[in-house]
């Protein structure tokens, strides 16, 4: 094959650099120039799938109801740690309508998520899988769960992060409960602190946040005797396929995964969980479709979370600058095998000469963490950006000024590589103007009512979002002149379907309604999982190449049909334009009978020796009732530097959403676990309080809309994670500005705010 080469690509995912071997073919396109005009890109377009979303016809996994479908439910451990000695299923099996039961004594050997079995001998958290039942309907399956007798030997447990760290805690592994999760050094922090004139030191805490995507995890599996089709609510159809085929030792071609619509993931749906294996195993055994969908309670026990953290920070200042920074963190990973490292922003955000950071993973008898929208970065930024403000106050420097002094560098301090683009200073300028930062007073302002104080705060974000290969797209034309774009990705609510349609229409010269997008199906060539803000920056450039090739071929064909030289033709809104003539595309294609024009594209590797990052700053204006501890977030200004904006309407929605989820993290969202019982007491949406419409402040969204021309041929970067990162710290800083009270624990509940106000003597 001409032009085919094998290369090594280095790409960032959630703060870590991964190396992979990729195939590249042909040449990439140049990125558009700054300010280049475009018929679709950069235009606010309502979603192409809007109609199905508002009319209830969009089919989500829970809406897949197949003839003869059976229902599987999961028996979960009521104990945080216990040995399953015996399981008696006789009564359950005798119940009419029960079709099968799986548990550790009868399950086939299955390796899954780095373990040798899907049913542990030692269950390790309340909610851990003990057995799965499949029955004719859910009612029967539920009754059957109650009829299974399990003999548990109860073992000592620990669920709380700070208890698990202590020496007297039960040891969950022979090595203990605390594990190294990475450390980093730059310069000499000890020397830096010796030089420092001002030092601040504080401990910050963040509680466990639960994703609570409205659609719970779940799957419907259907075995047709030859091939397994799995409908799953997922952020990564190919990851689901890989995990199922690996666990069940099947050929990839025999596993077909579909996710047409999905009701939110936020990181917890990257890959599959055990429910899909139960559905698949039962379906293959019984020859009928099987649905296994988690309840809200199960979702909050066994489907991931953002780790609680304990973070100790020390900052040294001199001459109005930060000269040293130390950060040590402990993250409650539950039964997870990795830690979402909170020190990423510490290590990379600011140009600070002397840094030392250490991260620890702590194992407890709680459900495993999973990625949660900027995992580690949200927790770390809350602590880091709170501490930066504390140092600014101690040095009597405006906190924005202090940040500007450390934000100018065009070099990634960790790798020494130059950024492809960094417009953080612009973010600061735009945000400061929009929030009215010049009116900020170091001691806060009077509020709108008695006992209310007003304050301004801000914080910065750094995140990945460069995406990378492999990712593929193909485009072909129907005889009616419309194009069909196929990409192996899924739309998790970010508007991927609409964005890729815009890129395709723009490149070819069609209107948006002339492009049909097919996504969410592993029968397409590979596309990446939607995590780490990679989707658009990965798939978008491939779509552009595919569309570009399709357009070139189409114009050549049109030239042949019209008997005009192809380079004298162009396509505008579905019309082939030549000198003095306009021919609708469908007229040309109808003359080619069933001959089909196909364009394909792939994602070329990222540039070597450069760092691709996104930057942004959030500004918050709050009022605080100093007698009741109530925080009123009045306004958030969110400014992001993410390269070129493909769709300003859906991009702004993403930022709005990130801010709202961050406000939940900042103010109300917190998993509450009884330490004695090991049970999550608020595994529901009643006491796990996510923001409502009444909690939404005014949110002003601004972009530094400049193409990142060195990053990829689209000039676009990811936006999924950036807007959730800096809000909590901005709010905490605004609260401190308003009242003088520093709340160092997110969420900033009434109890914590009242305590901080009392400590600060700020309740008068």
Partner 1 sequence: MSLFSYARPRALAEALKLLKNGTIALAGGTDLVTLVRHGVARPDRLVDLTGIAGLRGIAREKGRGIRIGALTPLSVVEHSAELAKLMPIVPQSLRDAATPQIRNMGTVGGNLLQRNRCWYFRDEGVPCWLKGGKRCFAVDGENRYHAVVGAHECWMVSPSDLAPALIACDAEIEISSSLGKRRMKLAELFIAPHGRERREHSIRAGELITAVRIPEKALDRRGTYLKAMERKAWSFAIVSVAASARVKDGKATDVRLVLGGVAPVPWRVPAAEKLLEGTALDDNACLLAADALLDGAQPLRDNGYKVTLARELVRRALRSLVTA
Partner 2 sequence: MQFRGPGALDISLNVNGQDVTVHVPPHRSLLDTVRESLGLTGTKKVCNEGDCGACTVIVDGRPVYSCLTLAIACEGRTVETIEGLSRDGKLHVVQQAFIDHDAYQCGFCTPGQVMSVVALLRANPAAREDDVRRAVAGNLCRCGAYNNIVAAGVAAAKKS
Sites of contact with partner 1 (CB under 8 A): 78, 139, 142, 627-630, 667-668, 672-677, 679, 681-682, 686-687, 689, 691-695, 749-751, 754-755, 758
Residue 607's binding partner, choosing from partner 1, partner 2, none, with beta-carbon cut-off 5 to 8 A by kind? Answer: none
> What is the closest distance, in whole angstroms, from the C-beta atom of residue 451 to partner 2 in the complex?
24
Q: Does 59 bind partner 2 (CB under 8 A)?
A: yes
Three-class DSSP labels, 495-548? CHHHHHHHHHHHHHCCCHHHEEEECCECCCCCCCCCCCCCHHHHHHHHHHHHHH
Stretches 325-333, 512-520, 620-628, 658-666: which one binds partner 2 (CB under 8 A)? 658-666
Nearest distance from C-beta of residue 627 to partner 1, angstroms? 4
Reported as type and span, the H/E element at residue 156 is none
The Cα 708–Cα 457 span in angstroms is 29
> Binding mask 225-264 vs partner 2 (x if CB under 8 A, - otherwise)?
------------------------------------xxxx
Is the Cβ–Cβ distance between 639 and 616 less than 8 Å? yes
| Sole binder of partner 2 in the list 660, 704, 716, 743 (CB under 8 A) | 660
DSSP-assigned states of every residue in 48-115: TTHHHHHHT-S-BGGG---TT-EEEEEEE-SSSSEEEEEEE-HHHHHSTTEEEEEETTTPPP--BTTB
With CB under 8 A as the contact rule, which of the stretches 165-173, 211-219, 462-470, 530-538 interacts with partner 2? 211-219
Minimum Å distance from CB 263 to partner 2?
3
Distance in angstroms (rounded) separating the CA atoms of residues 393 and 396:
5
**Any idea which residue has 């500005």 for tokens?**
737
- CA 29, CA 25: separation in Å to the nearest integer? 12
Q: Which SS3 state, helix, strand or coil, does residue 145 take?
A: helix
Sequence-separated contacts (24+) of 396-404 with Cβ below 8 Å: 396/442, 397/320, 398/440, 398/442, 399/457, 399/458, 399/733, 400/428, 400/432, 400/437, 400/458, 401/320, 402/320, 402/321, 402/322, 403/350, 403/428, 403/458, 403/460, 404/428
Nearer to partner 2, 211 or 403 (CB): 211
Our finding on whether 55 is near partner 2 (CB under 8 A) is yes
Nearer to partner 1, 690 or 725 (CB): 690
97 contributes a contact to partner 2 by CB under 8 A: no
The contacts of residue 261 (CB under 8 Å, 6+ apart) are 49, 52, 53, 58, 59, 60, 491, 520
Closest distance between partner 2 and the C-beta of residue 271, in Å?
A: 18
Smaller CB distance to partner 2: residue 47 or 742?
Answer: 47
Query: According to the binding rule CB under 8 A, does residue 214 interact with partner 2?
Result: yes
Cis peptide before 747 (omega within 30 of 0): yes
Nearest CA-CA partner of 237 in 204, 218, 203, 260: 260
Report the partner that residue 492 touches, choosing among partner 1, partner 2, none (CB closer than 5 to 8 A by kind): partner 2
CB of 498 to partner 2, least distance (A): 9
Alpha carbons 457 and 729: distance in angstroms, whole number: 8
Among 5, 10, 33, 51, binds partner 2 (CB under 8 A): 51
Quick one: what does residue 702 bind among partner 2, partner 1, none, with the CB cut-off 5 to 8 Å set by partner type? none
Kindly state whether residue 537 participates in binding partner 2, applying the rule CB under 8 A. Answer: no
Q: 329 or 494: whose CB is closer to partner 2? A: 494
264's contact among partner 1, partner 2, none, with CB below 5 to 8 A by partner kind, is partner 2
Instruction: Report the alpha-carbon angle 266-268-273, nearest 5.
Output: 155
C-beta of 419 vs 665, nearer to partner 2: 665
Lookup: tokens for 224: 């047709």
- Residue 212 binds partner 2 (CB under 8 A): yes
Site size for partner 2 (CB under 8 A) = 56
By C-alpha distance, which of 290, 186, 303 is closest to 671?
Answer: 303
Q: Are strands 70-76 and 290-293 parallel, antiparallel or unpaired?
A: parallel
Tokens 């595919």 label which residue?
546
Distance between CA atoms of residues 210 and 370, nearest Å: 10
Applying CB under 8 A, among 691, 715, 722, 726 the residue interacting with partner 2 is 691
Closest alpha carbon to 552 in 601, 487, 479 = 601
Task: Please say which residue, 174 or 676, places its beta carbon nearer to partner 1.
Answer: 676
What character string, x for contact with partner 2 (CB under 8 A) and - otherwise, covers 281-300? --------------xx----
Q: Residue 461 forms beta bridges with which residues?
A: 616
Residues contacting residue 563 through CB under 8 Å, at least 6 positions apart? none
How many helices (H) does the chain have, and how many strands (E)? 18, 32
Q: How far is the CB of 307 from partner 1 (least distance, A)?
A: 19
Of residues 207 and 490, the one with the C-beta less far from partner 2: 490
User: Which of partner 2, partner 1, none binds 759 (CB below 5-8 Å, type-dependent)?
Assistant: none
- Binds partner 2 (CB under 8 A): choice among 106, 203, 596, 692: 692
Handedness of CA 653, 654, 659, 663 (dihedral sign): positive
Binding segment toward partner 2, per CB under 8 A, in 26-34, 42-50, 74-82, 183-191: 42-50
Q: Using an 8 Å Cβ cutoff, are 723 and 659 in contact?
A: yes
Residue linked to tokens 């995590």: 531
356 by DSSP, 3-state: which? strand
DSSP string, 171-239: PSSTT-SEEEEEEEEES-HHHHHHH-SEEEEEEEEEPPB----SSPSEEEEEE-SS-EEEEE--S-HHH
Residue 628 Cβ, how far from partner 1 at the closest point, in Å? 6
Q: 660 is in the binding site of which of partner 1, partner 2, none (Cβ under 5 to 8 A by kind)?
A: partner 2
Segment contacting partner 2 (CB under 8 A): 58-66, 339-347, 451-459, 542-550?
Answer: 58-66
Nearer to partner 2, 50 or 170 (CB): 50
Binding to partner 2 in span 490-519, by CB under 8 A: 492-495
Which range in 151-159, 242-250, 552-560, 659-667 contacts partner 2 by CB under 8 A?
Answer: 659-667
Residue 486's Cβ-count burial label (10 Å; 0-12, 13-18, 19+) is buried
Nearer to partner 2, 201 or 695 (CB): 695
Q: Which positions from 124 to 153 touch partner 2 by CB under 8 A, shown as an x/- string? A: ---------------x--------------
Nearer to partner 2, 46 or 108 (CB): 46
In Å, how far are 22, 84, 120, 150, 247 from 154, measured between CA atoms?
49, 9, 14, 12, 29
> What is the closest distance, in whole angstroms, from the C-beta atom of residue 650 to partner 2 in the complex?
6
- As a dihedral over the C-alpha atoms of residue 671, residue 677, residue 679, residue 680, rounded to 10 degrees, the angle is -20
Decide which of partner 2, partner 1, none touches 751; Cβ closer than 5 to 8 Å per partner kind.
Answer: partner 1
SS3 15: coil
657-676 burial by CB neighbour count: b if 16+ within 10 A, else e? bbbbbbbbbbbbbbbebeee
Q: Does 693 bind partner 2 (CB under 8 A)?
A: yes
Q: Is 65 in the site for partner 2 (CB under 8 A)?
A: yes
Decide if residue 726 touches partner 2 (CB under 8 A): no
Q: Is residue 656 at the binding interface for partner 2, with CB under 8 A as the rule?
A: yes
**Closest separation between CB of residue 695 and partner 1, Å?**
5
Which listed range, 123-131, 207-215, 333-341, 388-396, lies at the site for partner 2 (CB under 8 A)? 207-215
Smallest distance from partner 2 to CB 302, Å: 16
Residues in the chain: 764
* Interface segment toward partner 2; rule CB under 8 A; list 104-112, 470-478, 568-576, 682-690: 682-690
Q: With CB cut-offs between 5 and 8 Å by kind, which of partner 2, partner 1, none does residue 55 bind?
A: partner 2
Q: Which residues bind partner 2 (CB under 8 A)?
A: 46-47, 50-51, 53-60, 62-63, 65, 139, 211-216, 261-264, 266, 295-296, 492-495, 649-650, 652-654, 656-661, 684-686, 690-696, 698-699
């Amino acid at each position: 094959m001409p032009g085919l080469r094998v290369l090594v690509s280095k790409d960032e995912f959630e703060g870590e650099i991964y190396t992979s071997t990729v195939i590249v073919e042909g040449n990439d396109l140049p990125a558009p120039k700054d300010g280049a005009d475009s018929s679709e890109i950069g235009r606010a377009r309502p979603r192409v799938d809007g109609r199905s979303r508002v009319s209830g016809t969009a089919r989500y996994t829970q809406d897949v109801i197949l003839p003869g479908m059976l229902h599987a439910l999961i028996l979960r451990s009521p104990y945080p740690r216990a040995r399953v000695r015996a399981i008696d299923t006789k009564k359950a099996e005798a119940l009419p309508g029960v079709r099968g039961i799986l548990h550790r004594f009868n399950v086939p050997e299955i390796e899954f998520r780095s373990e040798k079995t899907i049913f542990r001998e030692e269950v390790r958290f309340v909610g851990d899988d003990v057995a799965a039942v499949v029955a004719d309907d859910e009612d029967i399956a539920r009754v059957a769960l109650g009829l299974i007798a399990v003999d548990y030997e109860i073992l000592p447990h620990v669920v709380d992060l700070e208890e698990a760290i202590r020496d007297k805690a039960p040891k969950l592994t022979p090595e203990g409960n605390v594990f190294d999760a990475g450390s980093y050094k730059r310069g000499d922090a000890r020397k830096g602190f010796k030089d420092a004139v001002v030092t601040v030191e504080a401990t910050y805490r963040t509680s466990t946040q639960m994703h609570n995507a409205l659609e719970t995890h779940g799957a419907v599996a259907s075995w047709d005797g030859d091939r397994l089709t799995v409908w799953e609510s997922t952020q990564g159809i190919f990851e689901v396929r890989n995990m199922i085929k690996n666990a069940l030792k099947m050929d990839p071609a025999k596993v077909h995964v579909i996710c047409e619509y999905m009701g939110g993931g936020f990181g917890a749906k990257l890959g599959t969980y055990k429910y899909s294996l139960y559905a698949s195993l039962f379906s293959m055994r019984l020859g009928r479709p099987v649905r296994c969908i988690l309840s809200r309670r199960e979702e909050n026990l066994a489907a991931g979370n953002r780790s609680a953290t304990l973070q100790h920070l020390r900052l040294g200042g001199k001459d109005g600058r930060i000269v040293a920074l130390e950060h040590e963190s402990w993250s409650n990973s539950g039964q997870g095998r990795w830690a979402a490292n909170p020190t990423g922003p510490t290590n990379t955000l600011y140009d600070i000469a002397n840094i030392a950071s250490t991260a620890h993973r702590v194992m407890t008898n709680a459900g495993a963490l999973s990625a949660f929208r900027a995992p580690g970065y949200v927790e770390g930024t809350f602590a880091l950006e709170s501490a930066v403000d504390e140092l600014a106050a101690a040095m009597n420097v405006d906190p924005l000024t202090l940040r500007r002094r450390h934000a100018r560098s065009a070099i990634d301090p960790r790798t020494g590589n130059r950024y492809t683009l960094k417009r953080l200073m612009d973010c600061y300028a735009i945000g400061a103007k929009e929030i009215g930062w010049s009116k900020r007073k170091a001691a806060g302002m009077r509020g709108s009512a008695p006992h209310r104080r007003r304050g301004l705060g801000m914080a910065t974000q750094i995140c990945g979002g460069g995406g990378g290969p492999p990712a593929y797209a193909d485009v072909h034309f129907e005889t009616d002149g419309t194009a069909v774009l196929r990409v192996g990705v899924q739309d998790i609510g970010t508007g991927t379907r609409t964005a890729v349609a815009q890129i395709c229409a723009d490149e070819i010269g069609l209107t948006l309604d002339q492009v049909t997008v097919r996504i969410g199906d592993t029968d397409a060539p590979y596309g990446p999982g939607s995590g780490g803000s990679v989707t658009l920056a990965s798939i978008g450039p491939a779509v552009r190449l595919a569309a570009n090739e399709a357009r070139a071929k189409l114009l050549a064909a049109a030239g042949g049909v019209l008997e005009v030289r192809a380079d004298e033709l162009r396509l505008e809104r579905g019309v082939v334009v030549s000198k003095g003539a306009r021919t609708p595309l469908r007229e040309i294609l109808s003359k080619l009978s069933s001959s089909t024009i196909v364009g394909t594209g792939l994602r070329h590797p990222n540039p070597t020796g450069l760092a691709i990052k996104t930057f942004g700053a959030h500004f918050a204006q709050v009022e605080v009732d100093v007698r009741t501890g109530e925080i009123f977030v009045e306004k958030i200004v969110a400014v992001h530097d993410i390269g070129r904006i493909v769709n300003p309407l859906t991009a702004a929605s993403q930022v709005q959403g990130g801010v709202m989820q961050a406000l939940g993290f900042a103010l109300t969202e917190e998993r509450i676990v009884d330490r004695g019982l090991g049970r999550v007491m608020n595994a529901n949406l009643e006491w796990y309080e996510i923001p409502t419409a009444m909690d939404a402040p005014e949110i002003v969204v601004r972009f530094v809309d400049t193409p990142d021309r060195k990053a990829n041929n689209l000039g676009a970067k990811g936006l999924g994670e950036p807007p959730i990162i800096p809000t909590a710290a901005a709010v905490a800083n605004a609260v401190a500005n308003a009242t003088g009270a520093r709340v160092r624990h997110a969420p900033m509940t009434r109890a914590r705010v009242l305590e901080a106000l009392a400590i600060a003597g700020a309740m008068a």
